[in-house]
Structure 1
Amino acid sequence: LPAEPKIFHGRDSELAEILELFSQGTPRIAILGAGGMGKTSLARTALHHTELTTKYQGNRFFIACDTASNKVELAGLIGAHLGMKPGKDMTQAVLLYFSDASPSLLILDNLETVWEPVESRKEIEEILSLLTDITNLALVITMRGAERPAKVQWTRPFLLPLQPLAQDAARKMFIDIADEGYSMEEMDQVLHLADNMPLSISLLAHLVDMEGCSEILSRWETERTSLISDGYDRKSNLELSISLSVSSPRMTSHSQDLLALLSMLPDGLSDVELKQSKFPIKDILGCKAALLRTALAYTDDLKRLKVLVPVREYMRTLSPPKDQMIRPLLTYFQELLELCVKFSGMESGTLLIARITSNYTNIQNVLRYGLQG
């Protein structure tokens, strides 16, 4: 089994929810969220929690699904962890093992790797369905995105997709990694760049520990996300982690265009703005749904579609928005400003001011782009 995470902050409520589901029986739980949000850490912490070690003892299995590309390979991975001899298709053997075993816990980590491709999705959902037919087998999966596989009766209440850490938890995580020698203000500046994503915090904090806060803040100005993308896997390379989501089969070219556009809009966009701006994006609300399903974007309390800072910086650097995407937005904001002047002092003018205020940073960025163009 993988070790229990030594640094774990800000997920107490999610852990409590998971343990509550286990206390009610044999659950089927999906831990969802964007890449780098700490899904694996949460699963590993639950795996080693006293309540679950007592309940399942030696019948706890943690399978990293990164290397599987179809049902047969996934069954083979599970079989290997169960100590079975390799076979052509281990599916039935795995099902028989768990059916005859004492109560067991199976965690399938990074299941999206094998589930996302359209050609393998149906068979993966079928094996998940068969696994959950086994009454004494608890199943936990971790998947990037906000979409649960079909054909499984997931235990309610569903665990919400993981969000960035609260500021206090983010600070604790940073302090656990980076040595002293920085001010609270400098630490918060670094955390702002990470947008409190656990993976980004971890990578940046390790750099701060080696080079100092001021040096890292200075390097970020020129290197952006490449600063924390020297690793060889999704857990040590931010750009690789983000690219796995961007290249997801759930993402169309139009969805990628929308993501690129949002990368220069820190204030995000409302549904009304998505439709009124007349972007050359086919089925723009469908593209919005794709961004939400892959957890590359989120909606804030005002229902505005936004992208976290690390994803914005990645897209702006490696896949910036095309000119034909920005021009309609430039026109839209110009018309909005003109209408605001025209109806100044009237009730409709007040509403227009509210719309402008909610796009303040967006307008600055778009106008700056227009001047540069």
Structure 2
Amino acid sequence: PPTPKIFHGRESELNELVDLLLHSPARITILGPGGIGKTSLATTALHHPEILARYTDRYFVSCESAASHEDLVAIIASHVGVAPTQNTSKRILHHLCHCPPSILLLDNLETCWEPLGSRGQVEQFLGQLTDIPQLALMVTMRGAERPRSVRWTRPFLPPLEPLSDDAARKTFADITDEELGDIEVRELLEVTDNVPLAVSLVASMATFEGYETVLLRWKEEKTTLFSGGADKRSNLDLSIRISLSSPRMLGSPGAHLLLSLLSLLPDGISDADLLQSDFPIADMGRSKATLLRTSLAYLDHDRCLRVLAPIREYIRNYHPPPSSLSRPLRQHF
């Protein structure tokens, strides 16, 4: 894909990523919640002048349709020019072993890595890819968890966070032609929590519908306002649904309950309040860990467990907490 034309607020992450890629052997994961800009960062790095000079071949492989190890192998084979056979994975490894310095970017690898039934094979194949010295491996994944079978390059890139206020404003200004004052822009950006996908969507809507209409629709429709796109890169609701339906979340009913509870707490909740409360959530520690591992929640600077505004509003709209949760919450606070 071409380099993103609008790219603000990721300069330090980009510089760090490029620096890691220039030092062989590079094995890098870009982590974070859906819509946070993982693919944009990785794609921008692929087009960086120093990367173009360092690597002869650059392969961008979207793993969105790969539901298994076999699917992953088939998709990679089609991108690197290897015909499918009974030993496709071996042929891929042989082909890449005899290539000049190359980068293989596996975008949205969590699709085939998440299911426990295929995780072992996927991790084994990743390990085999990283045995190729002239191949740089770059992976983007939802969540905050890296595959374990790979010796990832250190220092690790931390999971991506929302944009700064300044970067969000610049992104908004590059997309919309609506002349808005600082207060109006700030009001619109507040509903996005500076998540890049949400910023892009609200800016596009402001261009066509105007500031007042978008704000009014947000108050009435919440995240359904951003559900018109056909895929997760243009549909915020769909992006959130994908995260909620991941095997890690499906295997932790308590995580869904905790997330619904957090949807009522814009400022989050501390560990002390979680421990002292009487919330009917089984295995609270595991539930919290699951939300952190999937990047559906995060720890703020005060170590409070919080949820980004777009996710919070989606949960309140579609999965509000039952009275068995909201009642003890009101009693506790």
TM-score of the superposed pair, with normalisation by structure 2 = 0.98
Give how far 1:103 is off. Answer: 1.0
What residue identity is the alignment partner of 2:328? P
Q: Paired residue for 1:286?
A: 286
Q: Paired residue for 1:82?
A: 80
Q: Paired residue for 1:268?
A: 268
Q: Paired residue for 1:103?
A: 101
Mapped partners of 2:275, 2:55: distance in 1: 52
Q: SS of the counterpart of 1:14?
A: helix
Give how far 1:180 is off. Answer: 2.9
Give how far 1:23 is off. Answer: 2.6
1:276-315 to 2 correspondence within 5 Å?
276-315=276-315
Give how far 1:88 is off. Answer: 4.0
Give how far 1:89 is off. Answer: 4.7
Q: Paired residue for 2:23?
A: 24
Mapped partners of 2:67, 2:10: distance in 1: 30
Q: Paired residue for 1:329?
A: 329
Q: Paired residue for 1:159?
A: 157
Q: Paired residue for 2:110?
A: 112
Of 171, 177, 183 in structure 2, the residue corresponding to residue 179 of structure 1 is 177
Contact 1:76 1:89 in 2 (8 A): no
Mapped partners of 1:92, 1:305: distance in 2: 44
Give how far 1:257 is off. Answer: 0.5
Contact 1:72 1:89 in 2 (8 A): no
Q: Report the aligned-residue RMSD.
A: 0.9
Paired-residue identity, %: 51
Give how far 1:174 is off. Answer: 0.3
Give how far 1:181 is off. Answer: 2.2
Contact 2:61 2:106 in 1 (8 A): yes
Q: SS of the counterpart of 2:221?
A: helix
Give how far 1:247 is off. Answer: 1.3
Mapped partners of 2:243, 2:311: distance in 1: 10
Q: 1:73 to 1:302 in 2, by over 3 A?
A: same
Mapped partners of 1:34, 1:89: distance in 2: 35
What residue identity is the alignment partner of 1:104? S
Mapped partners of 1:284, 1:313: distance in 2: 22
Of 197, 210, 213 in structure 2, the residue corresponding to residue 212 of structure 1 is 210
- Relative contact order higher in (CA < 8 Å, ≥ 6 apart): 2
How far does the alpha carbon of each residue in 1:267-320 deviate from its partner, in whole angstroms, 9 at most, with x for none?
111111111111111111211111010001011111000001000000000000
Q: SS of the counterpart of 2:141?
A: strand
Q: Paired residue for 2:133?
A: 135
Mapped partners of 1:20, 1:55: distance in 2: 11
Q: Paired residue for 1:358?
A: none
Give how far 1:22 is off. Answer: 2.0
Contact 1:116 1:249 in 2 (8 A): yes
Give how far 1:17 is off. Answer: 0.6
Contact 1:182 1:212 in 2 (8 A): no
Q: Paired residue for 1:232?
A: 230
Q: Paired residue for 2:10?
A: 11
TM-score of the superposed pair, with normalisation by structure 1 = 0.87
Q: SS of the counterpart of 2:156?
A: coil
Contact 1:262 1:268 in 2 (8 A): yes
Q: Paired residue for 1:367?
A: none
Mapped partners of 2:119, 2:87: distance in 1: 17
What residue identity is the alignment partner of 1:220? W
How far does the alpha carbon of each residue in 1:162-212 deviate from its partner, in whole angstroms, 9 at most, with x for none?
000000000000000000322211111111100000000011111111111
What residue identity is the alignment partner of 1:301? H
Q: Paired residue for 1:51?
A: 50
Pair 1:198 & 2:205 matched: no
Mapped partners of 1:243, 1:332: distance in 2: 30
Larger displacement relative to structure 2 (17-26 or 192-201): 17-26
